[in-house]
Amino acid sequence: MDQEERFQPTEEDGKLALREHAKLRGMEARHKYGEIGPENLSALLKDPSVVRFPTILRFDAEPLEPGEFAFPSPLGEKPGDGYCLFVHPFFQDRPEALPFLVSYQLVRINYGEVATHEDAEAFGAALLGLDQEEYYQEICRLADELAAQGA
């Protein structure tokens, strides 16, 4: 039996590898930037070791679906053209919420459509130095606040 026959990676192996990679990237960024807040969020978004493609942040609900707190929209045909990360204006004066909302969307920018909510939670929790369940609960709380506003 040769090596290729002994190990056949599965789709699940790929998903787990992606999640671990996202988590590692979050941990590396936390080590580099320390506590993530509004004061260093802009630098983090410009850092290609954290955010793979150029990304700008814009508070605008127009391109968002009802109840959606943020969404990265491509600025061109190729990922290298960059992204505009739209964040609901409800959070514009909520600087403490921005690291949660932004970090959740960065896996979509970095990994594309294959990224799942579990990958987003793993990355965000690692980036913010939280337990994944704690991070998830905060994302849910923020989404519920937006929903309560009817936005």
Residue range 17-35: mean pLDDT, rounded: 95
Written as one letter, the residue type at 61 is A
Written as one letter, the residue type at 82 is G
Residue 105 burial (CB count, 10 A): 23
Q: How confident is residue 150, by pLDDT bands cut at 50, 70 and 90?
A: confident
pLDDT in tens, 54-79: 999 999 999 999 989 999 999 999 99
Residue whose tokens read 């192996």: 13
Q: Which of 76-80, 88-92, 122-126 is the least confident region?
A: 76-80
Residue range 101-119: mean pLDDT, rounded: 95
What are residue 49's phi and psi, to 5 degrees?
A: -80, -15
Q: Is 138 helix (H, G, I), strand (E, B) or coil?
A: helix
- Predicted TM-score (pTM) of the model is 0.88
| pLDDT value of position 14 | 76
- DSSP class per residue in 72-106: EEESSSSGGG-EEEEE-GGGTT-TTTHHHHHHHHH
